[in-house]
Structures are given as structure tokens and as C-alpha cells.
Structure 1
């Protein structure tokens, strides 16, 4: 533990800066570093953390049971609350492809169950033996309707 004036003198001798890294700590923690380089590293770290928004995928089949559906729905909600986009896919095996309506029902149920925190960015599309839909999280967890009118309440 050094007095502030002595730490500043040491920093000036080395041609560096005295930077406070933990102001809440008792005693306050400071480092002798090149401030420009320190800021660059902090910005680089923040950019790396912001890049966490990724595309997640949750897969269903038309034979997915109710409990499994609810479990997968909980995972979708978890991904959306973390800010990730979610691709919901329904796979058809063998002759199941003739029951494409059941796959559409599953995607409609997922869209309805997550409408409070996500919007459908890409509607149901068929790609080979797969039916897909893309959900995008909405900031603040609320979907804003473009046609909705604002209502102010007077007290």
C-alpha cells in the first residue's frame, strides 16, 4: 500500500499513468499502466462480449410429446431472454412428410407461446424435409404493434 503522491511519482518516472481499476475496493486499487493501451484493451473486451448474440436452433418432430414440447419451449424462451435469435425447425422422417399440417401447428404453437417476448422474423418455410421459422427477441421483452395507438391515462 503506497501513498498516492509516491505512486504518481513512480508512474511519471516510468512514463506511464496511474489508473484506478477498483474504486469500490477498500483500499482503492490502482495500476501503473499506459492509459491508451489500457482503454484499447477494455474496448476490445467489450466488443467481444457484445458479439454474444448468436443464432440458436431448437428441433422438433411431429411426434414430439407434450412434456418435451414444454421443455423445448422453455429453452426457446431462455435463448430469447438472453438476446439470441432462435430458429425453430420441425423435421419429417420417412413418410411423415405427408403430415406437414402437424408441423405447421407446432410452429404456430411456438409462435403463439413466445409472442410476448419475440416476433417472427421469417415465416414458416419448407426446406426439403424440414419446416423452419426464425424468432427474433424484442428489446424490453415486449412486442410493439405497428398499428397500436398510444393511450395516455390521466390520474
Structure 2
């Protein structure tokens, strides 16, 4: 490509370098994967600056996902469960993913269905704030499930207001 963006066509490298030197510009390879590779006559400093600006802009538009973790036991008391559920609700309301881990000890490992039921109950209790991103799966002594917040934030639901009320 020429200095003004016009198509020059397929040119030998030696001819392209000579054209660049005559125009007092650099020969910059824009698309090295293309066949044949695409090069452009331009100021290399300007090219570096523009590519840095594009990279900065793409980083600015990127959303950082935070994964919070909540650990439970299979034989959790009702009040403790409500407290942990409140934490999960608050994390989801803030837009974070939540990794819920159930830790099994001793003989509890022979009853993984207790942990599975607990995770299903928790997912159902916070279903208005988030959904199951990865199903519960056994990982050694632990059972893990990941909950993600819903994409479109609707009008503040009852659970969101409760979670914010618990913070105050």
C-alpha cells in the first residue's frame, strides 16, 4: 500500500524499500500472515503510537471478572447456611462470579449426594441473581460449583435489596 492508502499491488521487496526511501518513509509490514504479506509505506513511529492507542482502548473496554469463593460443609446448620447464602447473594449482586466449595471430611466423603443437594438448594435460592455456570462436580475431598450473575441487570429484585439491606 502506498503512503496515502492507495493500492500499489504486488511489488518486490527491493522496489518497495526503494519507494519508501524516496518518500522518506518506512516500509511497515501490516499483515504478516496474509499471502502475500501486506506492507505499507508509513512513518513507523506513528504506526507504533496508533497500535499502542488501540491496545489501550481495548484494555479499557475489557471487563475484569472476579471470582469470589464461599466454602460450606455438608452438615451446615440452617442459620449458618442463611449467612453463607447472604454472602453469595451479595457477591452475585455486585456482578462477581462465585465458586461454592463443599468440603468433605472423614465419612462424609461416602455421601456426596448430601453436598450435591446442598449446592442445588443454594443455586435455587439465589436463582434470581445468578445461574449455574458449571455444574457441581467432585474434586477429591471437595465438591465445586460456579455461579455467575445474570447478564442483564433488571430492576432491583427482592433478593438484591435484602443483600444490600444486610450490608448496612
Matches within 5 A, 1:80-99: 80-99=92-111
User: Under a length normalisation based on structure 1, what TM-score does the superposition of the two structures give?
Assistant: 0.58
How far does residue 114 in structure 1 lie from its aligned partner after superposition?
1.0
Structure 1 residue ranges, 4+ long, deviating more than 4 angstroms after superposition: none
Distance in 1 between residues matched to 2:61 and 2:100, nearest whole Å = 26
User: Under a length normalisation based on structure 2, what TM-score does the superposition of the two structures give?
Assistant: 0.53
**Residue number among 123, 144, 154 corresponding to 1:111 in the alignment:** 123
How far does residue 50 in structure 1 lie from its aligned partner after superposition?
4.8
The runs of 5 or more residues in structure 1 that have no matched partner are 1-39, 143-155
How far does residue 58 in structure 1 lie from its aligned partner after superposition?
0.4
Q: Is 1:81–1:141's contact at 8 Å kept on the other side of the alignment?
A: no
1:35-81 C-alpha deviation (Å, 9 max, x unpaired)? xxxxx9xx89x949953x30011010112110000000000000001
Distance in 2 between residues matched to 1:60 and 1:73, nearest whole Å = 10
1:72-102 C-alpha deviation (Å, 9 max, x unpaired)? 0000000001010001111101121011111
Matches within 5 A, 1:104-143: 104-141=116-153
The runs of 5 or more residues in structure 2 that have no matched partner are 1-52, 155-168
**Residue number among 52, 72, 77 corresponding to 1:60 in the alignment:** 72
In structure 2, the CA distance between the partners of 1:122 and 1:49, relative to structure 1 (3 Å rule), is closer
How many residues in Structure 1 have an aligned counterpart in Structure 2?
Answer: 99
- Does residue 84 of structure 2 align to residue 72 of structure 1? yes
Pairwise CA RMSD: 2.2
State which structure, 1 or 2, has the greater radius of gyration over its C-alpha atoms: 2
Distance in 2 between residues matched to 1:50 and 1:120, nearest whole Å = 20
Distance in 2 between residues matched to 1:63 and 1:132, nearest whole Å = 16
Distance in 1 between residues matched to 2:131 and 2:139, nearest whole Å = 21
